[in-house]
Structure formats: C-alpha cells, structure tokens
Amino acid sequence: MQQLVEDLMSGSRRAAARLISLVENDAPLKRELLKEIFPHTGKAYVIGVTGAPGSGKSSLVDCLLQQMRADDLKIGVIGVDPTSPFSGGAILGDRIRMQEHALDRDIFIRSMGTRGSLGGLARATREAIQVLDAFGKDVVLIETVGVGQSEVDIVRTADSTMVVLTPAGGDSVQTIKAGIMEIADIFVINKADLPGAERTATEINMMLDMKESDQWRPPVLSAVSVRSEGIGAVWDCLKDHRRFMEESGRLMEIRRERVRRELTEQVEYLVKNRIWDQVKEQIELESLLEKIVLRREDPYSAAYELLEQINFYSEG
C-alpha cells in the first residue's frame, strides 16, 4: 500500500484508480491508507454539480472542463449516481462522451454507485475526493444525478455547488426540492434557448428574495451547453464564489466542519468495533435476541444490560 500511495504522489493514474476502488469497497486497509494520504490533502477545490436527469449537466460539465483546462488546472471528476447500485452504472453513458477529456492526462474521470447504502456513498465520495486531492488535482468536480436528500448529502462535500435547471415550460420551479434550493451557490438554467427560460430565472430570483439575506446571493445564469454558450460566465462565477469563500473565511469554516465530521466518524468507528468485539467475546447474543423476539425483554433495556455486562459503564 505504501507503494500505491507513493505511485499516487508521483502521478500514476492506475494508482489513483486502485486507491479509489479500495475506498469504494471499504477495504480493510482503507483507514491506514487515508491516514497515509491525509497530510497531502486540503489543496483541491471541490465543486459540486447537481440537477435533474435530462438537465444537460454532463454536457455543461464537459464545457466547464475545457474552461478549466484553458486555465491550466488539473481536474478530477467524480460522477455519482445515488440511484444506481453499480459503480459506473447509469452515468457511464455520459462519461463516454467525455472520452476526449479522458485522453487528457490532466483530467481523471471516475463514476461511483451506491454499493448498497446511501450513507456509504456519501462517505466513499468524500474519500475519493481525498485521493484525488492527494493525487494533485487542483479542482475536484462532483457530478451527481438523482433526487432529493441523497444528492444533498453528497453535494454537501463541495466547496461550491452549482444547481443545473432547465426552463420550466408549463411547470413552475416550485417543483425544485427545498433541500436543493438551500445548497445552491450558483444556479444555471441550461437549454436556455427553450421557451420559459426567463420566467424560470425570475421565479428562482423571487424564491431567493424570500430567503434571509446572506453575504452571498446565488446568481442565476443562463447557458446552452450543447452550443457552448454562456459557459465562460459560469466559470467566472464559480471563480467569484471561490474567492468569496476564501476571503470571507467561509471556506475555512466548512472545511473545519468537514474535519469535525471525519473525526467523529473515525471515533465512532473505533468505538463500535471495540464494543462489538467485546460483546462477541462475552455475550450470548443469540439467546438475548430470542428473548427480545419473544417480547420477554425490550431492545432498549437489553442494550443497557449488555453494556453493563462488558463493563462499559465502569470506567471513565
């Protein structure tokens, strides 16, 4: 593993891919690995891009990649599909369109799926970002499809979040989920050549007017990504937001929160492991379960007694 981390540092794409697979599969040596790369992280800026399927997110990301490359940035892209249990499932198709970028040595593209748990996906995404950060990427772009809470959890890892919409046509933007409204730092109305683009922008701005004022008011931009229109402004706006985050101290703040979450998870992981090891050694768990199934004991009292038996409450 030491070797893998060294290869990562020296720019091996294979090492990066291997290491992301390790965190995605929750490999036993994952924590050792994250510990190893941690000192080399904290440099990449993380941009989240989210929006409904069909909003043209991927072609917008495509265009943005060109802008970023023109600024000579090294980029990692993580495509996350919370609706797919497969790594590289539904959005692999989108990824294929990015193949021209895939040939570019300074862009690294990877897809991730749920593998059974949404909580696990948000964590794996965070860890994959760490790998790409240590890998030396200047920007890590997380693109996520899906609806509602799952994408909110994933995008919460980003330093700047862009929400992509399409002109609402007959529908109103009321259908935008509340959670999405709150995570957006920048709104982009893509396919803005379709009817209703202006009305959609107006509606979003009205919704923003109702929010408490903040130091940063999310701009509402328009783009037609298939014709590469409006992309320069989107990229400028992302840079503006980054500058705001850095200068206002917000970036430091959210990164501190992220570190807090990391530490919390790690503490709880260690604690749980040790507790269950002790329980396994000392407690007849199956007969206890039997008693609960038969309603002779409730799980709440049983949990307490179990911890008393392993002397959890005697110390500290």
Nearer to a copy of itself, 71 or 313 (CB): 313
- The first and second tokens of residue 308, run together, are 């008393």
- Residue 109 contacts residue 91 (beta carbons within 8 Å): no
Q: How far is the CB of 225 from a copy of itself (least distance, A)?
A: 24
CA-angle at 146, arms to 102 and 69, nearest 5°: 25
Q: How far is the CB of 105 from a copy of itself (least distance, A)?
A: 27
Which CB atom, from 150 or from 190, has the smaller least distance to a copy of itself? 150
Q: Which is nearer to a copy of itself, 47 or 288 (CB)?
A: 288
Looking at 211-312, list the stretches that DSSP marks H as alpha helix, in order from N- to C-terminal side.
231-248, 250-282, 285-293, 299-309
- CA–CA gap between residue 300 and residue 106 (Å, rounded): 53
| Site residues for a copy of itself per CB under 8 A | 31-32, 34-35, 38-39, 41-42, 82-86, 114, 116-119, 121, 146-150, 153, 177-179, 252, 255-256, 259-260, 262-263, 266-272, 274-275, 278-279, 288-290, 292-293, 295, 298-304, 306-307, 310-316
- Least spacing, CB of residue 299 vs a copy of itself, in Å: 4
Instruction: Output the smallest distance, CB 289 to a copy of itself, in A.
Output: 6
Specify the residue, 99 or 304, whose C-beta has the smaller distance to a copy of itself.
304
62 or 94: CB nearest a copy of itself: 94
Q: Shortest Cβ distance from residue 284 to a copy of itself (Å)?
A: 13
In this structure, what DSSP letter does residue 85 have?
S
What CA dihedral angle connects 11, 17, 20 and 24, to 10 degrees?
Answer: 180
Integer CA distances (angstroms), 10 to 13, 26, 98, 133, 161, in order: 9, 24, 25, 13, 30
CA distance 237 to 150: 26
Q: Long-range contacts of range 237-241, CB-CB < 8 Å, 24 or more positions apart?
A: 237/186, 238/47, 238/64, 238/160, 238/162, 238/186, 241/160, 241/185, 241/186, 241/216
Question: Least Å distance between CB 255 and a copy of itself?
Answer: 6
In the complex with a copy of itself, which residue's Cβ is closer, 70 or 304? 304
Closest to a copy of itself by CB, 217 or 272: 272
* Paired tokens of 134: 């240590």
